């Protein structure tokens, strides 16, 4: 879909549909909606008066214009209560409105910039939010489905504004929105892609193509190199599969220093069967998405490379499959990480923390002064927080607050979980330095506690995204399936860091 900026009166916009809006409870529409209402001979006010439409969030009213305005149709989108209105509502409303219009076969759509009128939200921010809502809300994953005869995607979205002075701002906001939304959609594609196609090697190839498109360097470390570095935990997980592991390292240099300012680490298990501690078959197909953290990190790096903040960011994604076979890791095995710690592998299904242990050591070796990792790490986190919030864990409250603020700003909800020292007991092993499971209690916390051993003193936030990366029903601008969480948070963390925000 093409997104263009047009200086034009809404009444003269020619296209299949025009989107205007209404706040909940407003009886007499004003502004652009008022002008359209008048041109339509009061059709909108009539629908309001008759109680058919009242501007509730998520509702829409579709009218045919019969030539009274230049657009074929007008869609009035409910903005919800004015007190609750914000950029997140703009994204939701735009995504929903465009999905309705797509169902009606509209190809060319114009929209006003919701809430950017006098005294409202900034026009640049609204242009970004409209763009994000549009691209995120219209996302589909249909590459394996036969195209329907009447399949007609929306081709063009025009952002309509009346004041020429705002053109540059709207272009800028929309440009940023496109970079961010396309990154989120890339992560969604990678999560939705089945594991027979998205192998560790394919994920590495994706990282390489992201690197090529931006100012990024990409290093793919193979099995030999991992052996040389002593990444025994990562190699242990990978050894049951015929496909070799890869360590994907992407670096962005926007700052003057040589060292990275920020390290992003993402779990890249392209399929998690559980290994010898095999999972029940029901729902196992969802484990094609066990690389969602890695996908988010790679996609976020692509966006960072385009936005070009003045800092250095390094991303690390350990990618492999977790499968049972004659060569697979077995319960009771002991593996050694690159920093020399030994791990008793009590359950081979707790593989994410094993691959991350070596990846976090590597991040430390590269000199990352602060870290964020994203991983579909535990079912326990899904039990605790459902699919509404990701779990957040830290060893540094100041860094947590900054990452939390970034997540909040982009509408990706997180909830901080405890990290008391008492939980450490649960992962102490009789035969090694640590064991990879901590029993039934507080499973998401003991997993984070395990990771904490490998980050040492570096300020670090771990995001357990097991419950938030795949949605079982559509919501707002997030269709069913992969959500793309936490791509937006990771981008925002980098931008805030570059802007020196504390
Ligand atoms: N990839 C899973 C976690 C997961 C569960 C992600 C549900 C998405 C949805 C992880 O590797 C895993 O299997 N964790 C185990 C850990 C247990 C053996 C300590 C779990 O949560 O059951
Ligand atoms: Zn597992
Ligand atoms: Zn897993």
What is the per-residue pLDDT across 83-125, written as a single tens digit (0 to 9) for each? 999 999 999 999 999 999 999 999 999 999 999 987 789 999 9
Banded pLDDT at 150 (limits 50, 70, 90): confident
Banded pLDDT at 502 (limits 50, 70, 90): low
CA of 217 relative to ligand 2 center, distance in Å: 30
Q: Report how far residue 325's alpha carbon sits from residue 343's, in angstroms, rounded to the nearest whole number.
A: 21
CA of 9 relative to ligand 1 center, distance in Å: 54
Q: Report how far residue 451's alpha carbon sits from residue 337's, in angstroms, rounded to the nearest whole number.
A: 12
Predicted confidence (pLDDT) at residue 368 exceeds the cutoff of 60:
yes
Percentage of residues in the chain having pLDDT higher than 70? 100
pLDDT for 112 equals 97
Banded pLDDT at 152 (limits 50, 70, 90): confident
Query: What is the DSSP code (8-state) at residue 357?
Result: H
Domains delineated in the chain:
2-180 (3.40.220.10), 193-499 (3.40.630.10)
- Average pLDDT of the residues in 446-450: 99
Query: What is the DSSP code (8-state) at residue 369?
Result: S
Q: Indicate if ligand 1 lies below 6 Å from the C-beta of 272.
A: yes
Q: Indicate if ligand 1 lies below 6 Å from the C-beta of 375.
A: no
Q: Indicate if ligand 1 lies below 6 Å from the C-beta of 207.
A: no
Q: Report how far residue 403's alpha carbon sits from residue 340's, in angstroms, rounded to the nearest whole number.
A: 30
Q: What ligand 1 atom has the least distance to the C-alpha of 322?
A: 11
Q: Indicate if ligand 1 lies below 6 Å from the C-beta of 345.
A: no
Active-site residue set: 279, 353
Q: Indicate if ligand 1 lies below 6 Å from the C-beta of 350.
A: yes
ω before 486 within 30° of 0 (cis)? yes
pLDDT for 83 equals 95
Mean pLDDT of the chain: 97
CA of 349 relative to ligand 1 center, distance in Å: 7
Banded pLDDT at 148 (limits 50, 70, 90): confident
Residue 1: closest CA among 169, 232, 216, 158: 158
pLDDT, tens digit, 9 for 90 and up, residues 309-329: 999 999 999 999 999 999 999
Q: Report how far residue 285's alpha carbon sits from residue 260's, in angstroms, rounded to the nearest whole number.
A: 37
pLDDT for 117 equals 84
Mutate to test the pocket of ligand 1, among 377, 390, 445, 465 (most ligand atoms within 8 A of CB): 377
Enumerate the H helices of 20-166 as residue ranges. Answer: 31-39, 43-49, 87-103, 123-137
CA of 352 relative to ligand 2 center, distance in Å: 6
CA atoms within 13 A on the CB side of 336: 7
pLDDT for 221 equals 98
Q: Indicate if ligand 1 lies below 6 Å from the C-beta of 381.
A: no
Is 310 in contact with 254 (CB distance < 8 Å)?
A: yes
Is 486 in contact with 397 (CB distance < 8 Å)?
A: no
**Angle formed by the axes of helices 487-498 and 292-307, to 10°?**
40
Instruction: Write out the H or E segment, with its range, that includes residue 168.
Output: helix 167-192
Q: Report how far residue 466's alpha carbon sits from residue 274's, in angstroms, rounded to the nearest whole number.
A: 15
Q: What ligand 1 atom has the least distance to the C-alpha of 274?
A: 13
Predicted confidence (pLDDT) at residue 126 exceeds the cutoff of 70:
yes
Backbone phi and psi for residue 490, each to the nearest 5 degrees, phi listed first: -65, -40
pLDDT for 316 equals 99
pLDDT for 9 equals 96
Q: Indicate if ligand 1 lies below 6 Å from the C-beta of 321.
A: no
- Average pLDDT of the residues in 326-345: 99
pLDDT for 461 equals 99
Predicted confidence (pLDDT) at residue 203 exceeds the cutoff of 60:
yes
Percentage of residues in the chain having pLDDT higher than 90? 96
Q: Report how far residue 199's alpha carbon sits from residue 178's, in angstroms, rounded to the nearest whole number.
A: 28
CA of 386 relative to ligand 1 center, distance in Å: 14
Q: Indicate if ligand 1 lies below 6 Å from the C-beta of 349.
A: yes
**Angle formed by the axes of helices 167-192 and 487-498, to 10°?**
130
Enumerate the H helices of 352-499 as residue ranges. Answer: 352-365, 379-385, 397-410, 443-455, 487-498
pLDDT, tens digit, 9 for 90 and up, residues 212-223: 999 899 999 999
Nearest ligand (C-alpha, residue 426): 1
- Average pLDDT of the residues in 424-448: 98
Nearest ligand (C-alpha, residue 380): 1
Mutate to test the pocket of ligand 1, among 191, 350, 449, 465 (most ligand atoms within 8 A of CB): 350
CA of 272 relative to ligand 2 center, distance in Å: 6
Q: What ligand 1 atom has the least distance to the C-alpha of 290?
A: 1
Positive/negative CA dihedral, 439, 462, 357, 190: positive
Least confident of 27-36, 146-155, 404-413, 456-465: 146-155
pLDDT for 215 equals 81
């Amino acid at each position: 879909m093409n997104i263009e900026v047009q200086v034009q009166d809404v009444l003269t916009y020619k296209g299949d549909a025009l989107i205007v809006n209404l706040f909940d409870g407003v009886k007499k529409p004003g502004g652009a909606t008022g002008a359209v209402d008048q041109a339509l001979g009061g059709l909108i006010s009539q629908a309001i008066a008759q109680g058919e439409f009242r501007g509730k969030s998520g509702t829409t009213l579709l009218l045919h214009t019969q030539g009274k305005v230049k657009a074929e149709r007008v869609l009035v989108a409910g903005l919800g209560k004015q007190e609750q209105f914000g950029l997140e509502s703009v994204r939701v409303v735009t995504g929903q409105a465009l999905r309705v219009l797509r169902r009606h076969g509209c190809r060319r759509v114009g929209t006003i910039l919701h809430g950017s009128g006098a005294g409202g939200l900034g026009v640049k921010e609204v242009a970004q939010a409209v763009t994000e809502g549009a691209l995120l809300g219209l996302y589909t994953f249909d590459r394996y489905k036969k195209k329907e005869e009447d399949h007609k995607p929306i081709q063009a979205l025009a952002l309509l504004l009346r004041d020429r002075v705002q053109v540059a701002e709207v272009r800028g906001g929309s440009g940023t929105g496109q970079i961010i939304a396309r990154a989120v959609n890339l992560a969604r594609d990678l999560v939705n892609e089945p594991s027979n196609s998205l192998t560790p090697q394919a994920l590495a190839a994706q990282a390489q193509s992201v690197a090529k498109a931006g100012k990024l360097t990409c290093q793919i470390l193979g099995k030999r190199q991992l052996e040389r570095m002593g990444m025994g935990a990562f190699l242990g997980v990978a050894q049951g599969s015929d496909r070799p592991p890869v360590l994907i390292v992407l670096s962005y240099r926007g700052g003057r220093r040589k060292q990275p300012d920020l390290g992003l680490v993402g779990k890249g298990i392209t399929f998690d069967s559980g290994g010898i501690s095999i999972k029940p078959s029901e729902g196992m197909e969802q484990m094609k998405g066990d690389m969602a953290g890695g996908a988010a990190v790679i996609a976020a790096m692509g966006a960072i490379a385009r936005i070009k903040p003045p800092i250095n960011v390094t991303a690390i994604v350990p990618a492999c499959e977790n499968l049972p076979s004659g060569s697979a890791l077995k319960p009771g095995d002991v593996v050694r990480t690159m920093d020399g710690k030994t791990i008793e592998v009590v359950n081979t299904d707790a593989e994410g923390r094993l691959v991350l242990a070596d990846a976090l050591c590597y991040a430390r070796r590269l000199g990352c002064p602060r870290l964020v990792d994203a991983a579909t790490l535990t079912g326990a986190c899904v039990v605790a927080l459902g699919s509404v919030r990701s779990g957040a864990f830290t060893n540094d409250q100041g860094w947590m607050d900054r990452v939390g603020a970034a997540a909040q700003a982009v509408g990706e909800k997180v909830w901080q979980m405890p990290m008391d020292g008492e939980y450490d007991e649960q992962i102490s092993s009789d035969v090694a330095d640590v064991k990879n499971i901590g029993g039934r209690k507080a499973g998401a916390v003991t997993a984070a506690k395990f990771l904490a051993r490998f980050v040492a003193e570096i300020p670090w936030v771990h995001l357990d995204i097991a419950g938030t990366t795949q949605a079982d029903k559509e919501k707002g601008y997030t269709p069913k399936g992969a959500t793309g969480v936490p791509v937006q948070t990771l981008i925002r963390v980098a931008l805030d860091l570059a802007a020196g925000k504390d």
